Amino acid sequence: MRRPVTTYEQRQWEAPSQGTQATDWSILSQDAMHKALAELILSEKVRLRELRRLRQVRYRKKKENYAHSLEKETYRLRNETEKLELERCGIPSVAPSADSVLVATAEYFRLFRHGFHGTSDMCNQQENFVRSTMAPDVVFNVKYGPEAITETWKFISEMLEGVALELVSLDMGDTGSLVAGTRTTVTITEQTLRYLFPHLHRKNDVVLLKLAEKLLEQRIAMRATTRFAWDSTRQRISSPQYRYRYDAIGANLCKVLSGS
């Protein structure tokens, strides 16, 4: 017959059990604390990363706004410089009658300094000017007639954005013609790439697609000379001949692609 368990013995058995339970709670508490601390550290890293990203976005936006404001101011100053240069040369910048090659040339660059306008009023001014100052058989980019000039400008304005035609110099030629030096600044668009650089849109060529991305929305400058031949008998321009400096255009494109 088994003897009954005394109170002292029962306490001796329960003591180790209670100690083990306390140890388990201590381990669980430490694990929870470590987990909470890790989550806190991770959350802080995410917060700091997002804060840095927002700062970079704000910095880029500020930089873009500053560049845009500089571009607008530069454009305004160029227009003012062109106007003053024309006044210095004694060439009127208003719409006079086309009675000389100087007057006609000055008016040509005034009306087309931003390309062909879609608004009816400015469009009518441009078309009326071309009809009144160009000879009926005028030659323009291997095409004939005043309409060839307006059609070419329409095409340029559709293919390129932000056209800014700047008159740099004016020189009288030996035969009564006038040679104008110009600087044209334009923005490359998706339409520009599709028409002028169709090979850059090959979807299976990663290198060409990256080149297209670099060119997109870039502004490039193109220098050219235009010779305005004057028909003194009919008092009309007979042949405005453009000649672009393609070496300079290529150099500008290479500069954009190289990121320099």
Instruction: Tell me the CATH number at 246.
Output: 3.10.450.50
Residue 38 lies in a domain: no
pLDDT at 225: 87
Please report the pLDDT score of residue 252 as a whole number.
Answer: 64
pLDDT mean by block of 10 residues, the chain; 260 residues: 53 50 58 77 84 85 80 73 59 43 85 80 83 87 85 85 85 77 85 76 71 80 85 83 69 64
Does this model's pTM top 0.95?
A: no
pLDDT of the residue at 160: 81
Q: Is residue 44 included in any domain, yes or no?
A: no
Distance (Å, whole) CA 57 – CA 180? 44
Domain around 214: 60-258
In a domain, 30, yes or no: no
Say what the pLDDT of residue 74 is. Answer: 77
Residues 112, 153 contacting (CB under 8 angstroms) = yes
- The dihedrals phi and psi of 143, each to the nearest 5 degrees, come to -115, 165
Confirm whether 27 is domain-assigned.
no
Mapping DSSP to helix (H, G, I), strand (E, B) and coil, where does residue 143 land? strand
Looking at residue 34, what is its pLDDT?
A: 75
Structural domain tally of the chain? 1
- pLDDT value for 113: 87
